[in-house]
Chains A and B, each alone.
Chain A
């Protein structure tokens, strides 16, 4: 069965600083990978996804993620964080088709002035 690990429960960054959120997955074949974000009082919004092809994927709100098969990782990055990016971020994996999505435990991002 697939699994996802987000080692950082909570991260604090200064506004304007760069950001990298870590995600490691466990799955025997090529996974379908996602990053979702949940802002306070909001639902889960899809930031980006990786299915195949270019291992660097661009998402909404200036986020990008890089799939590294050798490290079983799918880290999320943003070059300059804005205060509105404060939220909880979830890495997720699917085996494809209509199969269920398996989530990590989430990383809470705090942005300080």
Chain B
């Protein structure tokens, strides 16, 4: 079974440009999450999709970030325009939805991350 995949693995852009990150969750996983780690700090939650619906976007830093999950499969995270402080590693995670099995729903599997550098 394929794990969570993310593309690209690295992206270097200039301040003011636009970047789109993509995440493909594990097949069958309706929960999809985005997290970010900025310069050696802790990994922080950005938002959560259940299928194509945004369940929780409390961690999104500002309106320069736009996440979508059309069709409930893969997700994209667009940063427009990018700022220097957006540099970091963006992780995607997914989990199944099993209403009677908390362990299955709660266990999130992470992708390799996308390292974003804004110059």
Q: List chain A positions with a Cβ less than 8 A from chain B.
A: 4, 32, 34, 36, 42-46, 49, 51, 90, 94, 96-106
Knowing A97-B106, A98-B55 are in contact, say whether A103-B43 is a contact too (CB < 8 A).
yes
CA distance A105 to B45 in the complex (A): 13
A99 to B31, CA, bound (A): 10
Q: Which residue of B lies closest to A3 (CB)?
A: B42
Query: What is the CA–CA distance of A46 and B91 in the complex, to the nearest angstrom?
Result: 14
Q: How many residues on B have C-beta within 8 angstroms of the other chain's C-beta atoms?
A: 32
With A97-B106, A98-B97, A100-B48: A43-B113 Cβ-Cβ less than 8 Å? yes
Known pairs A34-B107, A43-B113, A103-B43. 5 more at Cβ < 8 A?
Answer: A32-B102, A42-B112, A98-B95, A105-B41, A106-B43
Asked, given contacts A51-B102, A94-B106, whether A100 binds B33 with beta carbons under 8 Å apart, the answer is: yes
The 15 listed contacts between A and B (C-beta, < 8 Å) are A42-B112, A43-B4, A43-B6, A43-B111, A44-B91, A94-B108, A97-B105, A98-B48, A98-B50, A98-B97, A98-B105, A101-B45, A101-B93, A104-B42, A105-B41
* Alpha-carbon distance A34/B43, docked complex (angstroms): 14
> Is B56 an interface residue when CB atoms closer than 8 A count as contact?
yes
Q: Are A90 and B107 touching (Cβ within 8 A)?
A: no
B107: contacting residue among A4, A44, A49, CB under 8 A: A49
Q: How far is the CA of A79 from the CA of B68 in the complex (A)?
A: 44
Docked complex Cα distance between A45 and B6 (Å): 15
Q: Shortest CB–CB separation between residue B77 and chain A, in angstroms? A: 16
Q: Give the CA-CA distance A44 to B112 in the complex, in Å.
A: 6
